[in-house]
Structure 1
Amino acid sequence: MDVLIHAVIALHIIGIASLLGGFLTQMKAMGRGEARMVPAMLHGALTMLVTGVALVGLNQAEGSTINNFKIGLKLALLIVILGLVYVKRDEEKVEAAAFGTVGALTTANIFIALLWV
């Protein structure tokens, strides 16, 4: 079971890297007002959602205690991220506020995961 959990954690990190990497590649374009939601951002957010749900299930099946408030907060942030990325994915230019919100919420999600014990 530990190997499976670690494999899902690795996939979760790949999803985070895809979402945050897609955001970071568009930072210069955001300054010019030409940023767009790249497909890697949507795929990364979806990967985070699927693997996050799988991690909660696997950890509960193993008998670990889950901080439901922390997981609920992370899920709420991810749903907002997914909503923004999904709705704006076909637009040629995304306003800086919406694009910056995706980056800020992604960063907040990472800090919550790592710093909230």
Structure 2
Amino acid sequence: MDVLINVFVALHIIGIAALLGGFLTQMKAMGAGTARFVPAMLHGALTMLVTGVALVGLNQADDHPVNNIKIGVKLAVLVVILALVYIKRDEEKVEKGVFAAVGGLTVANIFIATLWT
């Protein structure tokens, strides 16, 4: 079971990398006001959602302790990210504030995952 959990952790990290990487590639365009949500950002967020849910289930099935409050906060942040990216995914230009919010929430989610013990 530990190997399966580690595989899902790796996939979860790949999802966050796609989301954050998509944001970082558009930083210059954000300064110019032409940033847009690239497909990698949506796919990364969806990957995070699916693998995160799987990780909670696998950890609970393996009798590992799960901090449900932390998971709930991370899920709420991810739902906001997903909503923003999904709604604005087809627009040629995304407002700077919305785009910056997605980047900030992504970084916040990383810090919640790593610093909240």
* Fold in common (TM above 0.5): yes
SS at match of 2:17: helix
Matches within 5 A, 1:16-31: 16-31=16-31
Counterpart of 2:106 in structure 1 is 106
TM-score relative to the length of structure 1: 0.99
State the shift of 1:113 in Å.
0.3
Distance in 2 of aligned mates of 1:8 and 1:66: 15
Distance in 1 of aligned mates of 2:60 and 2:101: 31
SS at match of 1:93: coil
State the shift of 1:65 in Å.
1.2
Counterpart of 2:64 in structure 1 is 64
Q: Mark the runs of 5 or more structure 2 residues left unpaired by the alignment.
A: none
Counterpart of 2:35 in structure 1 is 35
Counterpart of 2:81 in structure 1 is 81
CA RMSD of aligned residues (A): 0.3
State the shift of 1:77 in Å.
0.1
Distance in 1 of aligned mates of 2:69 and 2:10: 23
TM-score relative to the length of structure 2: 0.99
SS at match of 1:91: coil
Percent pairwise identity: 76
Q: Mark the runs of 5 or more structure 1 residues left unpaired by the alignment.
A: none
